[in-house]
């Protein structure tokens, strides 16, 4: 008589062998790897959070990352003076708090150190320099086939798993708008993802295109490095103080939303902003018709939390310009007919998701913006073991909520599939 534990192990081995054989029969890459747990694409905060929540439950996962490090957005594509825009308690990942010695708004170095400690604590070791170039659900075997291209060699590896977690972020690719005459401009043009500090622009006239949080902060940084920044404000924008009555504006909004409807909270925020910042329309910063929270929830457009740029606009150190009509050899012509020379142009024009470029799935993810079609809080789970984390425009707080739900759901699905946790 074979003991039950040995019989169970034999059954598991048979199931795995059949899966591996089926998988090998359809594998198109040079190397094919069967992953017993989920495949997570992206080693930013989202991918790390899901891997940690799974690890805590005893489930292994494989994290694939195109870059050579974790949190590549934060480590490689952000400017030196960056701090978290929101207070630290709203930016923690699940299961590990920020060190109490960190300030309310941690610096990017502190945030990266926290993420490194997080990866260390949960022993998350991503497969670096592996860009996922395609992922497809194979109906024949009921599994996801995730194909990567390694930076150093070609040929590729195919990972095969029951679950696929998309954690490639809302900021995977820089958005570079096509501006008429761009190729004629002889000065420097760079996206904010390449901007580090105003050092190299001292004494220069710089046009910053875009007035979101990054555009405002880069303009302020340029000012502080003795450059002359001009900021292009094409659309309406909500600028709010970062704090109100000693509380963070974000925290206050969250608290008020527990008791009051969103429109009433918006009115309170706008009144406080008017008292503290004055009429921003007089500085050519028109406010949208919808309030800041309603606009964020309907369109995902984040209000600017002012950390000093507005004072520089008031003093004239940062000058506001309308939309660009075209670029010329030495400068730009604006829609109001004015032309000015510039030494450099910085595009604070944002980022976009890259999901449609590699995921062969169109029902859950929109092809247009690469984000889940269903809004928060439903945009984390699709069919056939597909999940999305950090893609519903809710920042790091949304990341934590998604990660916990995903890990719980995978645990249920694993148990239902009668497969036991295994260590990697």
Binding site residues, ligand FAD, CB under 6 A: 41-47, 64-67, 71-73, 78, 82, 84-86, 91, 131-132, 167-172, 214, 354, 358, 390, 395-396, 399
* Minimal CB distance residue for ligand FAD: 44
Say whether the peptide bond before residue 346 is cis (omega within 30 degrees of 0). no
Residues 6+ apart with CB under 8 A from 356: 365, 367, 370
**In terms of CB distance, is 327 or 406 closer to ligand FAD?**
406
For the CB of residue 420, give the shortest distance to ligand FAD in the complex, in Å. 29
For the CB of residue 302, give the shortest distance to ligand FAD in the complex, in Å. 9
- The full length of the chain comes to 424
For the CB of residue 383, give the shortest distance to ligand FAD in the complex, in Å. 21
**In terms of CB distance, is 13 or 151 closer to ligand FAD?**
151
**In terms of CB distance, is 166 or 244 closer to ligand FAD?**
166
> For residue 151, how many C-alpha atoms fall within 13 Å in the half-sphere facing its CB?
10
For the CB of residue 190, give the shortest distance to ligand FAD in the complex, in Å. 15
**In terms of CB distance, is 164 or 172 closer to ligand FAD?**
172
The C-alpha angle 240, 243, 247, rounded to 5 degrees, equals 140
For the CB of residue 172, give the shortest distance to ligand FAD in the complex, in Å. 4
CA distances (Å), origin 255, targets 109, 249, 251, 267, 303: 29, 10, 6, 15, 18
**In terms of CB distance, is 84 or 344 closer to ligand FAD?**
84
**In terms of CB distance, is 23 or 354 closer to ligand FAD?**
354
For the CB of residue 422, give the shortest distance to ligand FAD in the complex, in Å. 24
In this structure, the number of other CB atoms found within 10 A of the CB of residue 91 comes to: 20
Tokens for 120, please give them.
């260390």
**In terms of CB distance, is 257 or 275 closer to ligand FAD?**
257
Nearest residue to 134 via CA among 19, 29, 20:
29
Tokens for 166, please give them.
């998309």
CA distances (Å), origin 77, targets 205, 312, 321: 23, 25, 26
For the CB of residue 210, give the shortest distance to ligand FAD in the complex, in Å. 12
For the CB of residue 339, give the shortest distance to ligand FAD in the complex, in Å. 31
Q: Where are the alpha helices (DSSP H) in 4-121?
A: 4-26, 45-56, 72-76, 108-121
In the three-class reduction of DSSP (H, G, I as helix; E, B as strand; rest coil), residue 258 is classed as helix
In this structure, the number of other CB atoms found within 10 A of the CB of residue 73 comes to: 17
**Separation between Cα atoms, residue 205 and residue 213, nearest integer Å:** 20
**In terms of CB distance, is 171 or 205 closer to ligand FAD?**
171
């Amino acid at each position: 008589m074979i003991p039950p534990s040995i019989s169970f192990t034999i059954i598991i081995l048979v199931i795995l062998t059949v899966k591996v054989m089926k998988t090998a029969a359809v594998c198109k890459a040079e190397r094919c790897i069967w992953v017993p747990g989920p495949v997570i694409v992206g080693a930013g905060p989202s991918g790390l959070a899901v891997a940690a929540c799974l690890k805590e439950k005893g489930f292994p996962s494989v994290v694939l990352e195109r870059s050579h490090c974790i949190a590549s957005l934060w480590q490689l594509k952000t400017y030196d003076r960056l701090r978290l825009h929101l207070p630290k308690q709203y930016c923690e990942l699940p299961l590990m708090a920020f060190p109490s010695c960190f300030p309310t708004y941690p610096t990017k170095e502190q945030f990266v150190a926290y993420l490194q400690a997080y990866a260390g604590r949960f022993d998350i070791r991503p497969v670096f320099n592996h860009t996922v170039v395609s992922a497809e659900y194979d109906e024949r075997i009921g599994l996801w086939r995730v194909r990567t291209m390694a930076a150093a060699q070609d040929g590729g590896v195919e990972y095969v798993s029951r679950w696929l977690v998309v954690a490639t972020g809302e900021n995977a690719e820089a958005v570079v708008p096509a501006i008429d005459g761009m190729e004629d401009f002889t000065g420097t043009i760079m996206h904010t993802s390449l901007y580090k500090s105003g050092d190299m622009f001292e004494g220069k006239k710089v046009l910053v295109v875009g007035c979101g949080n990054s555009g405002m902060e880069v303009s302020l940084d340029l000012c502080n490095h003795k450059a002359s920044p001009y900021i292009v404000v094409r659309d309406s924008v909500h600028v709010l103080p970062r704090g109100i009555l000693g509380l963070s504006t974000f925290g206050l909004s969250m608290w008020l939303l527990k008791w009051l409807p969103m429109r009433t909270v918006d009115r309170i925020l706008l009144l406080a902003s008017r008292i503290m910042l004055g009429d921003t329309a007089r500085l050519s910063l028109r406010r949208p018709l919808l309030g800041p929270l309603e606009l964020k929830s309907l369109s995902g457009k984040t209000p600017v939390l002012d950390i000093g740029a507005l004072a520089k606009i008031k003093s004239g150190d940062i000058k506001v310009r309308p939309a660009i009509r075209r670029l010329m050899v030495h400068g730009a012509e604006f829609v109001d007919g004015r032309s000015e020379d510039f030494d450099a142009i910085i595009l604070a024009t944002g980022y976009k998701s890259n999901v449609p470029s590699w995921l062969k799935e169109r029902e859950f993810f929109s092809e247009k913006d690469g984000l889940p079609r269903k809004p928060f809080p439903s945009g984390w789970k699709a069919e056939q073991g597909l999940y999305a984390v950090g893609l519903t425009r809710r920042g790091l707080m949304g990341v934590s909520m998604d990660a916990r739900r995903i890990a719980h759901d995978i645990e249920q699905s694993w148990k239902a599939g009668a497969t036991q946790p295994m260590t990697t």
